[in-house]
Amino acid sequence: MIQTNYLIIGSGVAGLTFALKIAEQFPDKKVTIVTKANADESNTKYAQGGIAIVTDKIVDSYEKHIEDTLICGDGLCDEEVVRMVITEGPKRLKELIEWGAKFDKNAAGTLNLGKEGGHSENRVVHHKDQTGQEIQRAISYQVHQKENILVLDYHLAIDLITENNRCLGAYVLDEKTNEILTFKSDFTLLATGGIGHLYGHTTNPVIATGDGIAMAYRANAVIKEMEFIQFHPTALYDASTGTSFLISEAVRGFGAYLRTKNGHRFMPDYDSRGDLASRDIVSQCIEKELKKSGDDCVYLDCSHLDMDGFIKHFPMIYERCKSIGIDLSKDWIPVVPAQHYLCGGIVVDKMGKTSVENLYACGECSRTGLHGANRLASNSLLEALVYSDKIFNYLATTSFEKNQFEGKVTDWKLIEKPAINPDYVAKRKTELQLLMRQNAGIVRNDADLLQAKEELTLWKTEIEEKINKYQINADLCELQNLITIGTLIVQQSIDQVENRGGFVKTDNTNS
């Protein structure tokens, strides 16, 4: 058994910033980060656009950013939470800069602010088109300087340890040795990111399999608003791959146009904001156009833009397109919507506390009330930074009775079992992804959802039998988690009787 004071599951911006702050505050306490890939692999790393923060108070204001967030969330945001997150933005940005994160500046030496869909002003702080990677780099460097932080990569958390609605730690699979380790912790933080590989066509990395939410659900934590899934409207269309390369919304902010194969600019037909309407609107409009035409994709036209300026702002996007033979000065980029972000998740309060004692959640796996029915572009890194700080402040300034941590933790009993055929896991995962894309995608209906529920119920029983019968491995655990997440999304989509934000169900007549 491994004892630690703080167990952090996940190594994106949410988990790392909390680890750094708590380790600085309590140099005598043990902080342990477990992450299932290498420590730098997370959804944070793939965030291209930036962080939405009000820095120019003359042109912009907190009220404008709050209003944009509320409009995008379509009546389901918690206004108190929105106000709290947005007004704390500048403090968290200052912290990132102090930790060494570098952001683009203009000729005057001030921050070069981008504009994205749903924003009324330029307020997106960025580092070219690799903002997440730059933030991850800066925070990771600081984390590795702390002697009381232990980072264990290739360690997959497989279940939380609970007793009387209190989290006492977690069982963790060492993927290199296949040993199951028992971690006993005073506090556990889930910072496990999103669910993208439930859909297959996603902008998320392959690690995004909803593990934290599935574990929290098995531990009886409250999970809400799983039906509100954001599909990014512009992922590079490539029929041969699953993970889609993201063409940042900032490209449309820079002036790119969406067109059909025939060259028609269709977005002004649907929305007065045209190409800069919010993501849910753009994704739904692309879906309609594709259904009308039967085409595989629509196109993003950058050919009229200043190419030198484009390359400076979006070097990664430019190089990726060039590598597959797309010359942006004359060719259009084929794009389709792909699963991008989950707006719901593990319900937390303003301190990041879940409904299970001593269990906290932060970042994309949590449901804070900030996003409502649809997340405003570039509000996610901001949310992760603000909530990791809230959890840190709560744990650093609240006194806890010692006896509340006492609980019986037993080591995982290892029983020799045969290895499962990897073909079974791969086949079932592919079937699951197809089911979710077809039956619980951008536009849903109850008949499809009920059919998916029936299928998922069978698979849930089947996977439980396999876990009892075969040796546990990472692929098997992830498949179980994906089936759990799929079931939650489908059930909460059936229960949702209003079309809001990113959620559209054709049976809903009162929307």
Residue 472 and residue 448 in contact, taking contact as beta carbons nearer than 8 Å:
no
Beta pairing partners, 396: none
Side-chain half-sphere of 435: how many Cα atoms within 13 Å? 24
CA distances from 20 to 14, 103, 133 (A): 10, 21, 17
Residue tagged 């030496």 (tokens): 109
d(CA 31, CA 27): 9
For residues 56-71, b (16+ Cβ closer than 10 Å) or e, as one string? eeeebeeebbbebbbb
Those residues whose C-beta lies under 8 Å from the C-beta of residue 502, and which sit 6 or more positions away, are 228, 229, 230, 231, 279, 280, 283, 343, 373, 374
CA distances from 199 to 346, 429, 440 (A): 20, 10, 9
For residues 230-266, b (16+ Cβ closer than 10 Å) or e, as one string? bbbbbbbbeeeeebbbbbbbbbbbbebbbbbeeeeeb
Alpha helical stretches, state H, 62-155: 62-73, 79-98, 131-144
Beta pairing partners, 187: 6
Residue tagged 């120019």 (tokens): 56
Token code pair at residue 465:
């039998």
Q: What is the CA radius of gyration of the chain?
A: 22
Residue 486 CA from chain centroid, whole number: 16
- Annotation says 279 is catalytic: yes
Those residues whose C-beta lies under 8 Å from the C-beta of residue 70, and which sit 6 or more positions away, are 77, 79, 82, 372
Residue 16 and residue 33 in contact, taking contact as beta carbons nearer than 8 Å:
yes
Which of 123, 252, 279, 444 is labelled catalytic? Answer: 279
Rounded to whole angstroms, the maximal C-alpha distance in the chain is 69
d(CA 41, CA 132): 11
DSSP string, 219-271: TT--EE-TT-EEEEEEEEP-TT-SBPPB--THHHHTT-EEE-TT----HHHH-
| Active site members | 279
